[in-house]
Amino acid sequence: LGLSYAMANTGIALFIILLTFVSIFSLYSVHLLLKTANEGGSLLYEQLGHKAFGMVGKLTASGSITMQNIGAMSSYLFIVKYELPLVIQALMNIEDTNGLWYLNGDYLVLLVSLVL
């Protein structure tokens, strides 16, 4: 959700430079994670946290994963609620939106929550 905002405020050239640096740092962090997983014999973040810092590390890794998942789900539901009705309206060329349940973001979020 934030990439388009960042590009609008930094410009294309600076955005590409920043995105390249972020990509390089992400690649390096994955490299470090795989290296420590290989040497430590752990394939799960929680196990790595436990081996490195004990129970505090395990709980921190679990909490971090939980918060990331909550953030991802919240972003997904935000897009479904506020953007999907506009996309449906544009694709179906609908002018009058009164009474159409599939153009109400609340119903769409509820539907997505029930399906998942």
Mean residue pLDDT of the chain comes to 87
Quick one: pLDDT band at residue 1, thresholds 50, 70, 90?
low
Question: Tokens 């179906």 sit at which residue?
Answer: 92
Centre a 10 Å sphere on the Cβ of residue 3 and count the other Cβ atoms it contains.
9
Question: Tokens 């997505």 sit at which residue?
Answer: 112
pTM for the complete prediction? 0.64
4-52 residue pLDDT tens: 888 889 999 999 999 999 999 999 988 988 888 888 788 788 888 898 8
Question: Tokens 């972003």 sit at which residue?
Answer: 75
Domain boundaries, the chain: 1-41
